[in-house]
Amino acid sequence: MLNTALDSMTSTRVVHVSVAVIVKNGQVLVSKRAEHVHQGGLWEFPGGKVEQDESIEAALYREVQEELGMDIKSSRPLISVLHHYPDKSVLLDTRLVTAFSGREYSQAMAQPGLEGQMVRWLDIDELANYQFPSANQAIINALQLPEHYAITPDILISRGSEPGNSKPAQTDIEQFLQDFAKTIRQQRLLQLRVKSLTGEPLNQLVRQACILAQQSHTRVLLNSAMPVSKDLYKLANGIHLTSKHLHDSHFADSFQKQYPEKLIAASCHNRDDVERANQLQVDFIVISPVQRTASHPDQVPLGWVQFKALSDIASVPVFALGGMTGESMVTAQANGAQGIAAIRGLWTSGCVKR
């Protein structure tokens, strides 16, 4: 995402590195750095320095061949990370490698690579048990996130509700939960955002939804604008900060301190939002609106050029939101996105509050 970061920095200040995240059967290939080098003794993803006038892809293919004896057949952008160490700064341009040939490494044991480094396959969920350079944490986050981030619509108020009643009836809530149950069978990451309920009805809905999500092994983040009982944060997998709460230091910092193991996402609409998310080191962000949407037809969209400009300065995974469809994935990822976020496009019934 930070492909333009070098424009304002000289090569003596930032080391540009091309990184390969090689995946196979739910595992990722990692290698151990030599003890005498920078960040020695830590595990890393294969790759190396991008030479002058060399493309990211060319550098990656060369380094993987030299280090591992493998030929990359297919890859796509995953994430770019600009990270500052006390003694140097690195720009990691990372590509997800899904097809390769050449030398094979056992998936049952560690083996030496072509440069004497130890190489092994790890289950993606195992990565947290190994020590990586701190610059790699955003890469690990991206690898563990899906390509889709579903967002719930508000509860549809049925036509059978009492005239003038702007609150959902119990049957409306039950229908929402049925649709929610269908959606989480297809989605692995979801934001629960309900505006039409407050008080105990909202708390009951959130509690039921979180229990359903746990049974389906789907991670659910609660939108920070929902006035839920704070004990419900224990049931959820994390929180999604609105732009307002993103800039509320007390709110964000207190959540991080109380629930350090939970995910934190944030909504971003401009450069200030993205830089604040970087400062907080959230797990991922959503940039919107990329394109015009039916729900907000008067809102001026960012467009892909501006989306990329914002994703370029993000040091965390980014989802594109606003007018996204299944066909948007390739474009989104080509512009630095982890994937797409959507309401209508990822909600099974497609219903929204009228």
pLDDT tens digits, 72-97: 999 988 888 887 878 788 888 999 99
What does the mean pLDDT of the chain come to?
A: 88
- Both 153 and 123 in a single domain? no
Q: Is residue 1 pLDDT above 70, yes or no?
A: no
Give yes or no: residues 136 and 185 share one domain. Answer: no
Same domain, 173 and 137: no
Res. 266: pLDDT tops 70: yes
The predicted pLDDT at position 341 comes to 97
* Per-residue pLDDT tens digits for 292-317: 887 667 788 999 999 999 998 898 99
Q: What is the DSSP letter of 16?
A: E
Please indicate, yes or no, whether residues 156 and 302 belong to a single structural domain of this protein.
yes
Select the more confidently predicted residue: 206 or 250: 206
Please check the confidence at residue 351 and state whether its pLDDT lies above 60: no
128: CATH:
3.90.79.10
Q: What is the pLDDT of residue 8?
A: 43
CATH code of 245's domain:
3.20.20.70
- Of 5-14, 233-242, 338-347, the poorest mean pLDDT is in 5-14
pLDDT digits (tens, 9 = 90+) for 126-177: 998 999 988 888 899 999 999 999 999 999 876 554 545 567 889 999 999 9
Q: Please check the confidence at residue 114 and state whether its pLDDT lies above 70.
A: yes
- Label residue 30 exposed, middle or buried (CB < 10 Å: 0-12, 13-18, 19+): buried
- Residue ending a domain, among 142, 162, 188, is 142
* The domain boundary residue, chosen from 142, 171, 189: 142
Same-domain status, 126 and 153: no
Give the residue numbers spanning the domain of 105.
5-142
What is d(CA 307, CA 97) in angstroms, rounded to the nearest whole number?
24
Query: Is 349 within the bounds of a domain?
Result: no
pLDDT tens digits, 7-55: 444 444 788 889 999 999 889 999 998 776 666 689 999 998 999 889 9
- In the chain, what percentage of residues exceed pLDDT 90? 62
Same domain, 160 and 288: yes
For residue 177, give every residue at least 6 positions away whose Cβ sits within 8 Å of its Cβ, in sequence order, or none: 205, 208, 209, 212
Q: Which residue has the higher pLDDT, 136 or 237?
A: 237
Out of 127, 142, 157, pick the residue that ends a domain: 142
pTM above 0.95, yes or no: no
Give CA–CA dist 344/351, Å, rounded: 7
Whether residue 129 is found in the same domain as residue 197: no
pLDDT, average across residues 333-352: 83
Q: Which of 91, 84, 95 is nearest to 22 (CA)?
A: 95
What's residue 127's pLDDT?
A: 92
Cα separation of 44 and 16, whole Å?
A: 16
Looking at residue 10, what is its pLDDT?
43
In this structure, are 13 and 158 located in the same domain? no
At residue 11, the pLDDT reads 41
- Tell me, what's the pLDDT at 3? 44
